Amino acid sequence: MNLILLGAPGAGKGTQAEVISEKLGIPQISTGNILREAVKNGTEMGVKAKGFMESGALVPDEVVIGILKDRIAEDDCKNGFILDGFPRTVPQAEALESMGVNIDKVISLEVADETIQGRLSGRRVCEKCGASYHVEFNPPKTEGVCDKCGGAAVQRKDDAPETVIERLRTYHEQTAPLVDFYGNKGRLVKVQGQDEVKDTSELVLKAVTA
């Protein structure tokens, strides 16, 4: 099954993608995580992407489309995958179509902007494996340490309040049109984000398996 998780930054895409990935045994593909790894390693792509990411803007389409194309060609994607953070623009969605990728379902996680601002200020992400936590709503067992791999769970630079405002603006301008793009194709299921992660997961899994 090929799935897309749509939603504003901080809507919980990463957390829910992990849940689906475990449940269905398909890989979670996060273009954000791939880009952060490239920035950390100082690769040519990372150097190009860094400024866009730190300012809350999107990395140019041709860069992310290239990343995605390479990633879904890998062996573990044969039985499907869940895209987390891609596509983020209509041209990216069109590129997926022209690669011949059939998308079974698009889950749109609906969360109000005000809720997102609170969530992102408390978000912590594992530097090593990308697992996502929240200091209040979903803390790791040991503060600052990832439950899954023991890596450091830290605040992302782009979770700073002024960058979050810019990321939300970017989302509404460039990514939100995808809700209609996939709605018009009859592939979209809207899921209302809940206060408790596990309650959202329940709704997401229901939507995926319905």
Catalytic residue among 13, 50, 105, 119: 13
By C-alpha distance, which of 172, 20, 197, 18 is closest to 104? 20
Q: How far apart are CA 37 and CA 165, in angstroms?
A: 24
- C-beta separation of 72 from 100 below 8 A: no
The window from 15-23, 56-64, 102-110, 184-192 that contacts ligand AMP (CB under 6 A) reads 56-64
Catalytic residue among 48, 156, 187, 190: 156
The four Cα atoms 167, 170, 171, 177 give a dihedral, to 10 degrees, of 180
Is 35 near ligand AMP (CB under 6 A)?
A: yes
Catalytic residue among 50, 88, 105, 119: 88
The neighbour count for residue 133, using CB atoms within 10 Å, is 23
The site map against ligand AMP for 65-104 (x = CB under 6 A) is: --------------------xx-x---x------------
Q: Is 74 helix (H, G, I), strand (E, B) or coil?
A: coil
Nearer CB in complex with ligand AMP: 57/179: 57
In the complex, which residues of this chain contact ligand AMP (CB under 6 A)? 9, 31-32, 35, 52-53, 57-59, 64, 85-86, 88, 92, 158, 167
Report the catalytic residues. 13, 88, 123, 156, 167
